[in-house]
Structure 1
Amino acid sequence: MDKPRPLRMDMIVQRQLDVMSTGNSAYLAIFLRAVKAAGVDIRIVFAPMRSFGNRPWMSVHPVFSDLATEIVVPSSLRIAGRYWSLSPQVWGRFLVRIGKAVLNRIGARPVIHSYLGDPLRAGEARQVTQIVARRGPDIALAEYSSLGPLLDALPDVPHRGILLHDLFSLRAEQFRQKGREPDFTEVTRDEEAQRCRSSTANFYASKNEMSVLAPLVPGANAIWLRPDPPPYSAGDGDPNPHAVFLGTRHAGNIDALHHLIDDIWPRVLERAPDAVLKVAGSICADLTPSQLQTAGVQPLGRVDDLGSLSGSNAVGLAPTRIGSGVSIKVAEYLMLGMPCVVYPVALEGFLDSLDDLVVRADGPDAFAKEVADLIVDAGRRMRLSEKGLAETPERLSNRELIDYFRGLHPRA
């Protein structure tokens, strides 16, 4: 009897995948690892113009190259491992972005709109769906609800899904609640659900957002994509107790970091004058000159080996006030063996899954007190560290997702 061929999946994306330091890239890699573990053959298909963003070249990170059997970047040339766009529109956007960068340097602060929440224009959408249809995959997977309408043109693909890193409708609501102007096109919850009308399964990075949208898309399976960060190798770390903030550059992290340094950290120093706060990741670029001079603040920039920050002497901080998707930093802190202090918003994407593994605090005074207390209490730090390391992997396992893909059947 012939062995059945593996299922074939086309993963449709609309952004560059050149770094692994962003939350959405980390989540996409987690998703694709789970899919591959289920025995599915993966092809990544890039939208030919949108994916290049504001520059006419891009590369694909080795993590994604290794997970996929094929990378498709239409309307491009590959030269020395880098893809160069042949689209005049992409080159035009590049020139506009250069102009905005000049204005930014002279203090004009032009608004840079994020197109991640916008559906593809008709011509680009048609090009993408034709590429997918020609292959005839068993599964077509779109990244973000904004690509969901592409599935309307793929009725012959038996299994169609959307990877929802976060919901644009909820993100917009949270921005407005905090008095911030969204940098993306706003949609309502009903409009976002309508984008998912042709999906047979939706994969949610946030358990909370799954509870919001899934009832509006009753015809599709709803599966929580747990953050499932990899086990980190233990590093030597700093033997002195200290606080850590991990973050990439996006509005929620920027707000959290500025709030931490401006409102919380002075209160920590009142209780622990020698306390140290290490800031790791691309978020360091958003520290203001005055924040860089704040006592105890140490910007590390990008850290290639997060294991070097691991251990019970590092207290992970997540004073998140603007939440969307899931705060992957909380999972990373736990997998790094860090005790961590969080605002409740940082846990919303997990619902109650991690409540007993972290220290919750409401407001800057309570947060500062918990941080200062942990810095001086080695025994409590160790207990939280050991509990997080022991229980997080099982709670954030993606066995449900793997089993779902293993249960699918190839198209005839």
Structure 2
Amino acid sequence: MKPPLLYLVHRIPFPPNKGDKLRSFNLLKFLAQHYEVHLGCFVDYAEDMQHVPALDEFCASVHVEQIQPSLGKLLSMRGLLTGEALTLPYYRSASMAKWVRDCVTQRNIREAVVFCSSMAQYTQALPDLHCVVDFVDVDSAKWTRYAQERSGPMAWLYRREGARLADFERAVAQQCAASVLVSEAEAALFREVAPASTSRIHAISNGVNAELYAPSSALVSPYAADDLPVVFTGAMDYWPNIDAVCAFADEVWPAIAERWPRARFCVVGMNPSDAVKALATRERITVTGTVPDVRPWLQHARVVVAPLRIARGVQNKILEAMAMARPVVASATCAVGVGAERGGEFLVADSTQDWLDAVGGLLADAAAADTMGQRARARILADFSWEAHLKAFLKLLAKDDAETGVTA
């Protein structure tokens, strides 16, 4: 009989169609092989409520609450009165707290996995719970970085959020049995944030379903026959993604389009913001919105780009493109968490000229692009299995192993 486990996630871990949900879903699927999982989570997009029944395949019980984003943002401003990070009241619910307490008590739960620091507020009052917190990224650092891109009141608010959230992250790290980050670089940064908890901070990387993300003759090209597609994939209501494609379209794309008249920049992803939609009015730029399957857009791309100027951890969009055997050009910020050979398995670009040289070189030489893509897929097959990485959670959930320096 499997032991019971509490799993708390800030966003419903299904469908796995964006970065955080890819990790939280694969972690759920893995935990369900070893534990009787009791899941508590929020839904922030109403259309995701239809996916709640799919969780029954992996969970013994499920508690889901819907957040109205506009109301949640308003209520989060209570943090200005309480002195806490605004993220915390956004995800605060008396009914979620009651469900957690009742679930732990009634089912005699002794172990828990918390996905995202904001959900750790529900386990702070349960000190006997052996809790592993998957921070994924150092969110406080993300808000501090956002502040550098803003001015006036928003810069102040983001700096405040970074500082207050860092205080909370430190407190969580001190109380929990183990803290997990998505890469060794993020783990090293978190050790600076929470130095008292250094021995219990671990890196567990993302993986890729290389059977699903694999080149296939069944995946028909969505492009015109004469296009040379340069592709970006991601949720297009996420500000770092918005910033990335807009900057690329402004600073890099005009020169590429002039040199390569058949080149087409394709922005592929759900919920494009108004700024992203406006890019579609420009020559040789396509904004798709939601697509039923991102894999054909990746497989038939000549080049996949990840020009994020603000990024934390490991970018799933890069790993998926590599798994599809496509050459990737990534910003130096994105490249930090990619465990692959720079130059041979993917390219790194920082300056505008770097981007022009890297993307232009791959557009000019299809054979070189294909060779890099094949090397990239080989790296994914060798080093990026979800199962191989996530098994480290089992060691951390074993009470005697929470300070063993697990890295995966």
TM normalised by structure 2 equals 0.79
Q: 8 Å contact 1:17–1:60 — kept in the other structure?
A: no
Match of 2:234 among 241, 244, 247: 247
Alignment correspondent of 2:124: 152
Change (3 A) 1:120 1:359: closer
C-alpha separation between the residues in 1 aligned to 2:358 and 2:294? 24
Alignment correspondent of 2:381: 393
C-alpha separation between the residues in 2 aligned to 1:16 and 1:116? 17
Tell me the alpha carbon deviations over residues 314-355 of structure 1, each in whole angstroms, 9 at most, x when there is no partner.
3111111011233211111111211011111112234x5453
Deviation, 1:372, is: 1.9
* Aligned pairs (5 A) from 1:199-348: 199-214=176-191, 216=194, 217-231=197-211, 232-233=213-214, 234=216, 235-237=219-221, 238=223, 240-248=227-235, 249-282=237-270, 284-288=272-276, 290-311=278-299, 313-348=301-336
Q: 8 Å contact 1:361–1:370 — kept in the other structure?
A: yes
Deviation, 1:391, is: 1.2
Tell me the alpha carbon deviations over residues 119-139 of structure 1, each in whole angstroms, 9 at most, x when there is no partner.
855845641431332222242
Q: 8 Å contact 1:200–1:221 — kept in the other structure?
A: no
Alignment correspondent of 1:42: 37
Q: 8 Å contact 1:20–1:61 — kept in the other structure?
A: no
Q: 8 Å contact 1:340–1:359 — kept in the other structure?
A: yes
- Do structure 1's residue 69 and structure 2's residue 41 form an aligned pair? no
Change (3 A) 1:313 1:52: closer
C-alpha separation between the residues in 2 aligned to 1:98 and 1:292? 30
Change (3 A) 1:71 1:338: same
Change (3 A) 1:98 1:395: closer
Deviation, 1:13, is: 2.4
Alignment correspondent of 1:26: 22
User: Which stretch of the first structure deviates more once superposed, 116-125 or 316-325?
Assistant: 116-125
Alignment correspondent of 1:106: none
Q: 8 Å contact 1:229–1:331 — kept in the other structure?
A: no
Alignment correspondent of 1:143: 115
Unaligned runs of 5+ in 1: 75-84, 100-113
The amino acid across from 1:247 in the alignment is G
C-alpha separation between the residues in 2 aligned to 1:98 and 1:392? 38
C-alpha separation between the residues in 1 aligned to 2:184 and 2:73? 39
Q: 8 Å contact 2:40–2:63 — kept in the other structure?
A: yes
Change (3 A) 1:211 1:306: same
The amino acid across from 1:25 in the alignment is K
Q: How many residues align?
A: 370
C-alpha separation between the residues in 1 aligned to 2:48 and 2:28? 24
Tell me the alpha carbon deviations over residues 26-55 of structure 1, each in whole angstroms, 9 at most, x when there is no partner.
121122233234x22222113xxxx35486
Q: 8 Å contact 2:5–2:112 — kept in the other structure?
A: yes
Alignment correspondent of 1:376: 364
Q: 8 Å contact 2:256–2:356 — kept in the other structure?
A: yes
Change (3 A) 1:268 1:337: same
Deviation, 1:363, is: 1.5
C-alpha separation between the residues in 2 aligned to 1:242 and 1:317? 10
Alignment correspondent of 2:142: 171
* Aligned pairs (5 A) from 1:8-27: 8-17=4-13, 19-27=15-23
What's the % identity of the aligned pairs?
Answer: 18
RMSD: 3.3
Partner of 1:259, secondary structure, is helix
C-alpha separation between the residues in 1 aligned to 2:20 and 2:167? 23
Partner of 1:42, secondary structure, is strand
More helix by share: 2
Change (3 A) 1:283 1:334: farther
User: Which stretch of the first structure deviates more once superposed, 242-251 or 126-135?
Assistant: 126-135
Change (3 A) 1:261 1:63: farther
The amino acid across from 1:227 in the alignment is G
Deviation, 1:406, is: 6.3
Q: 8 Å contact 2:12–2:21 — kept in the other structure?
A: no
Q: 8 Å contact 1:178–1:322 — kept in the other structure?
A: no
Q: 8 Å contact 2:13–2:22 — kept in the other structure?
A: no
C-alpha separation between the residues in 1 aligned to 2:18 and 2:301? 25
Alignment correspondent of 2:103: 132
C-alpha separation between the residues in 2 aligned to 1:375 and 1:283? 29
Tell me the alpha carbon deviations over residues 338-388 of structure 1, each in whole angstroms, 9 at most, x when there is no partner.
1011111112234x5453521111122220221122112011111111001
Q: 8 Å contact 1:253–1:283 — kept in the other structure?
A: no
Q: 8 Å contact 2:117–2:169 — kept in the other structure?
A: yes
Partner of 1:375, secondary structure, is helix
The amino acid across from 1:209 in the alignment is E
Q: 8 Å contact 1:30–1:228 — kept in the other structure?
A: no
Deviation, 1:408, is: 5.0
Q: 8 Å contact 1:276–1:298 — kept in the other structure?
A: yes
Alignment correspondent of 2:80: none
